[in-house]
C-alpha cells in the first residue's frame, strides 16, 4: 500500500470514528467543538471557524480556533465571539452576498478551495488582511465547505485556514483528498447539528405546551397559577441540595441533564388536572361562596326577620304592651347571630359541636319572604356553614382531590420519550404520604421515587406559606415548619428529605424570596431534626382516592 493510500485509509477510519462520536454527543457547544477540532486535525489546518445559519439569513460565528495565535472562542470556552454576523443578502436590494467566501459557499451550496486568499479573484478578503496586519499573521489557504443536512439545506459553513505539511511548516493549499474527507465530515456534522436542532425544537414545543397549560391555569385562577410556578422552584432547590450532599442518605444522589429536565417538566405539570376543576371550588374563599358569596343573601334575610319583629311589635304594642326593651333584645340577638354566621362563613382550622348546633338553631328560625314562611337558612347553607375545617364541603373536597387523578390520567396519555417516562410518577405523587394514607394510589415511601417525595414536601410547604390564597392566610415560618415537623412524626412526609430541607437551609432561602419579613421568624431546626417518626405498618397500594387538603 502506498503512503498516499495509507493516509487516505487512515482518514476514512478517523472519519468513521468521528461519525460515531458526532451521533452520541448531546451538548451543542461540545458538538461544535468536536466538529471543528476533528476537521482541523484531518486537514492539519492551523485555524478554523464554524458559522451557523440564522432564521433571518445571516451566518453567525459559532466557534473559532487558531492554534498558532492561541485563539479559542465559542464552543465550551464560554468566550463570546464579538465579530459581526455575515448577511447572506443585501438588506436593501436583497441581492445575494457573493463577495464573502463563506456566504458564497452557503448560498451556492458548493465548496471553495482557495490556495492563497491574497490572490483570489472575486472575493473580498479585506477583513482578513486587516486581521493579519493587526496580529502579525499570514492567512493563505482557505477551505470553505457548506454544511448540508439530509434535506440538502445549508445550515452552516465549515471553514479551515492554512493547511500545513507539518506543525511548523509554512501554509500550503488544501489538497483534493483532504477536501473530500472534510466535505464528508461536514455532511455528517450537518446531520448531527440538525438532529440537535430538531430535538431542541421538540423541547421548545413541549416547554411551550407546558407554559400554555400553566398560563391557562393562571388565567383561570391566579392563586393556583402562583402555586404552579413556586412548587417547581422549591422542588428544584431541594433537589440541588440533595445533589450537593457529601454525606448522609443523599451522598450518592445525583441528576444528569436529562433527569433535571424530567423533574422540571413534572414540576410544572404537577397540577395540570386543575384545569378542569371549577373555579368556584378551587378558589372558594368562604363556606357559602359559589360564583359569589351568599352570606349577603343571609344578611338580607336577617334584615327581613328584624323587619318582621318590628312589624309584629307595632301591631301588638297597644294590646300586648310588649316593651321596647324586649324587641331591642330580640333585634340584638339577630345581629349577634348574623355576626356569628359571618365568622362561621370564613372557615378556619376547627369548628366545634356547639358552633355547629348554633348554626342549625339559627338556620331553623322562620321568616316570611314573599308571603311564604321559610327557614332563615336552607339545608344546603346549614350544611356548608357547618364545615368543620376550611371552606370546602365533602363533595367539593372530592372535586379538589380528583385534580391529581385527572393530572395522572392526562400525563399517562402523553407519549413521553424514554428520558421523560417518569414525569407522570413524579407529578402524580405529591399528595401521597409515606405511610400509605395519601392519595390517589395510597403509595408508601418505598413505592415512591426520591423526586416524587421531594415534590410532596415542596407542595405542602408552598401551600402552608402562600400569601395569595383567598381561603386562608399564609402562616409564619415557624408555624409552617412546626406543622411539617408533625407530618414528619406521623410519616406523612419523607423524614430524611425533611431533615435535608431543614439542614440545608432551603426552607429559609425560599422564605426570604416569597414570605414578607414579618412572617420570617426563628425556627427550632434542632428540634425538627430530632423528631423521630412513629413506627408504621407496611401496606399495599390502592387506587382509591383519599382525603386531601387544598394546595
User: What nine digits make up the cell of 77?
Assistant: 470556552
What pLDDT score does 427 carry?
92
What ranges in 283-352 are assigned the alpha helix state H? Answer: 295-316, 324-346
Mean per-residue pLDDT for 91-116? 94
CA–centroid distance for 369 within its chain: 53
Is the Cα torsion angle 151, 153, 154, 156 positive or negative in sign?
negative
Q: Where in the chain is the domain with CATH 3.30.450.40?
A: 3-199
Element (H, E) at 154: strand 154-164
Mean per-residue pLDDT for 380-391? 90
DSSP 8-state assignment for residue 256? -
Mean per-residue pLDDT for 13-32? 76
Share of the chain above pLDDT 90, in %: 52
Element (H, E) at 163: strand 154-164
Looking at every residue in the chain, the average pLDDT score rounds to 87
* Model pLDDT for residues 129-157, shown as the tens digit of each residue: 999 999 999 999 999 999 999 889 999 99
Comparing 19 with 163, which gets the higher pLDDT? 163
Angle between helices 222-244 and 495-503 (to 10 degrees): 90
Q: Which of 254, 153, 272, 151 is nearest to 206 (CA)?
A: 272
Fold of 3-199: Beta-Lactamase (3.30.450)
Angle between helices 28-43 and 176-220 (to 10 degrees): 180
Contact indicator for 331, 306 with CB cutoff of 8 Å: yes
* Model pLDDT for residues 309-366, shown as the tens digit of each residue: 888 787 776 555 567 788 888 889 989 999 999 999 987 778 899 999 999 999 998 8
Comparing 525 with 200, which gets the higher pLDDT? 525
What pLDDT score does 223 carry?
62
The SS3 of residue 220 is: helix
Least confident range of 182-196, 199-213, 239-253, 257-271: 199-213
- Residue 368 pLDDT > 60, yes or no? yes
Task: Give dist(CA 130, CA 125) in Å, integer.
Answer: 9
| Phi/psi at 172 (5° precision) | -135, 165
Q: Please, which pLDDT band fits residue 367 given cuts at 50, 70 and 90?
A: confident
DSSP 8-state assignment for residue 77? G
DSSP 8-state assignment for residue 444? B
- Residue 507 pLDDT > 90, yes or no? yes
* Model pLDDT for residues 237-292, shown as the tens digit of each residue: 999 999 999 999 999 999 998 999 999 999 988 888 888 888 777 778 888 888 78
Q: Which of 377, 368, 375, 371 is nearest to 308 (CA)?
A: 368
| Phi/psi at 518 (5° precision) | -70, -15
What ranges in 25-100 are assigned the alpha helix state H? Answer: 28-43
Q: Please, which pLDDT band fits residue 167 given cuts at 50, 70 and 90?
A: low
Contact indicator for 464, 511 with CB cutoff of 8 Å: no
Q: Which of 234, 243, 263, 241 is nearest to 512 (CA)?
A: 234
Mean per-residue pLDDT for 66-90? 93
Share of the chain above pLDDT 70, in %: 91
User: 497-527 b/e with 16+ CB inside 10 Å = b?
Assistant: bbbbbbbbebbbebbeebbeeebeeebeeee
- Residue 186 pLDDT > 50, yes or no? yes
Task: Give dist(CA 182, CA 199) in Å, integer.
Answer: 25
Q: Please, which pLDDT band fits residue 543 given cuts at 50, 70 and 90?
A: very low
Contact indicator for 161, 45 with CB cutoff of 8 Å: yes
What pLDDT score does 157 carry?
97
- Residue 545 pLDDT > 50, yes or no? no
CA–centroid distance for 128 within its chain: 46
513-521 own/partner pairs: CB under 8 Å, 24+ apart: 514/230, 514/465, 514/467, 515/465, 515/467, 515/474, 515/477, 516/467, 519/465, 519/474, 519/475, 519/476, 519/477, 520/476, 520/477, 521/476, 521/477, 521/478
* Model pLDDT for residues 474-491, shown as the tens digit of each residue: 789 999 999 999 999 999
* Model pLDDT for residues 395-425, shown as the tens digit of each residue: 888 888 788 888 899 999 988 889 899 999 9
Mean per-residue pLDDT for 1-18? 62
* Model pLDDT for residues 84-103, shown as the tens digit of each residue: 999 999 989 999 999 999 99
Q: Where in the chain is the domain with CATH 1.10.3210.10?
A: 232-269+424-530
Superfamily of domain 232-269+424-530: Hypothetical protein af1432 (1.10.3210.10)
146-152 own/partner pairs: CB under 8 Å, 24+ apart: 146/105, 146/106, 146/108, 146/109, 146/110, 146/111, 146/186, 147/50, 147/186, 147/187, 147/189, 147/190, 147/193, 148/109, 148/186, 148/187, 148/190, 149/190, 149/191, 149/193, 149/194, 150/191, 150/194, 152/109
Q: How many helices (H) and strands (E) does the chain have?
A: 19, 10
- Residue 541 pLDDT > 60, yes or no? no
Amino acid at each position: 500500500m502506498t503512503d498516499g493510500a495509507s493516509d487516505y485509509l487512515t482518514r476514512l477510519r478517523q472519519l468513521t470514528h468521528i461519525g460515531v462520536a458526532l451521533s452520541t454527543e448531546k451538548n451543542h457547544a461540545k458538538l461544535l467543538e468536536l466538529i471543528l477540532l476533528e476537521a482541523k486535525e484531518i486537514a492539519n489546518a492551523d485555524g478554523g471557524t464554524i458559522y451557523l445559519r440564522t432564521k433571518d439569513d445571516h451566518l453567525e460565528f459559532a466557534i473559532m480556533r487558531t492554534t498558532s495565535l492561541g485563539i479559542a472562542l465559542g464552543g465550551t470556552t464560554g468566550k463570546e465571539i464579538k465579530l459581526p454576523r455575515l448577511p447572506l443578502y443585501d438588506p436593501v436590494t436583497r441581492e445575494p452576498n457573493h463577495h464573502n467566501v463563506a456566504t458564497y459557499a452557503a448560498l451556492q451550496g458548493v465548496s471553495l478551495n482557495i490556495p492563497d486568499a491574497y490572490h483570489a479573484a472575486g472575493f473580498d478578503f479585506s477583513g482578513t488582511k486587516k486581521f493579519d496586519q493587526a496580529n502579525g499573521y499570514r492567512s493563505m489557504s482557505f477551505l470553505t465547505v457548506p454544511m448540508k443536512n439530509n434535506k440538502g439545506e445549508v445550515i452552516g459553513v465549515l471553514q479551515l485556514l492554512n493547511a500545513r505539511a507539518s506543525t511548523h511548516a509554512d501554509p500550503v493549499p488544501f489538497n483534493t483528498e483532504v477536501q473530500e474527507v472534510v466535505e464528508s465530515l461536514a455532511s455528517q456534522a450537518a446531520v448531527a447539528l440538525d438532529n440537535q436542532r430538531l430535538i431542541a425544537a421538540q423541547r421548545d414545543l413541549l416547554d411551550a405546551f407546558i407554559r400554555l397549560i400553566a398560563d391557562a391555569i393562571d388565567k383561570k385562577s391566579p392563586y393556583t397559577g402562583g402555586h404552579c410556578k413556586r412548587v417547581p422552584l422549591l422542588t428544584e432547590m431541594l433537589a440541588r441540595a440533595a445533589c450537593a450532599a457529601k454525606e448522609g442518605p443523599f451522598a450518592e444522589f445525583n441528576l444528569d441533564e436529562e433527569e433535571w429536565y424530567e423533574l422540571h417538566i413534572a414540576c410544572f405539570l404537577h397540577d395540570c388536572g386543575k384545569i378542569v376543576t371549577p373555579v368556584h371550588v378551587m378558589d372558594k374563599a368562604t363556606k357559602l361562596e359559589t360564583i359569589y358569596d351568599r352570606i349577603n343573601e343571609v344578611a338580607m334575610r336577617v334584615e327581613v326577620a328584624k323587619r318582621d319583629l318590628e312589624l309584629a311589635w307595632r301591631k301588638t304594642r297597644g294590646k300586648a304592651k310588649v316593651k321596647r326593651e324586649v324587641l331591642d333584645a330580640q333585634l340584638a340577638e339577630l345581629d349577634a347571630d348574623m355576626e356569628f354566621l359571618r365568622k362561621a362563613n370564613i372557615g378556619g382550622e376547627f369548628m366545634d359541636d356547639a358552633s355547629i348546633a348554633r348554626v342549625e338553631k339559627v338556620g331553623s328560625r322562620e321568616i316570611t319572604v314573599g308571603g311564604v314562611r321559610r327557614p332563615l337558612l336552607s339545608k344546603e347553607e346549614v350544611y356548608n356553614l357547618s364545615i368543620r375545617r376550611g371552606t370546602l364541603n365533602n363533595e367539593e373536597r372530592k372535586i379538589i382531590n380528583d385534580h391529581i387523578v385527572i393530572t395522572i390520567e392526562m400525563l399517562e396519555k402523553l407519549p413521553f420519550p424514554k428520558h421523560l417516562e417518569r414525569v407522570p410518577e413524579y407529578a402524580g405523587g405529591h399528595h401521597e404520604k409515606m405511610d400509605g394514607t395519601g392519595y390517589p394510589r395510597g403509595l408508601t415511601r418505598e413505592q415512591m421515587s426520591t423526586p416524587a417525595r421531594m415534590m410532596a414536601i415542596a407542595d405542602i410547604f408552598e401551600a402552608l406559606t402562600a400569601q395569595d390564597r383567598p381561603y386562608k392566610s399564609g402562616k409564619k415560618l415557624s408555624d409552617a415548619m412546626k406543622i411539617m415537623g408533625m407530618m414528619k412524626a406521623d410519616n406523612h412526609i419523607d423524614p430524611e428529605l425533611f431533615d435535608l430541607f431543614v439542614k440545608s437551609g432551603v426552607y429559609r432561602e425560599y422564605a426570604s424570596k416569597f414570605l414578607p419579613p414579618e412572617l420570617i421568624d426563628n425556627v427550632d431546626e434542632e428540634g425538627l431534626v430530632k423528631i423521630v417518626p412513629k413506627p408504621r405498618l407496611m401496606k399495599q397500594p390502592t387506587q382509591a382516592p383519599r382525603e386531601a387538603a387544598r394546595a
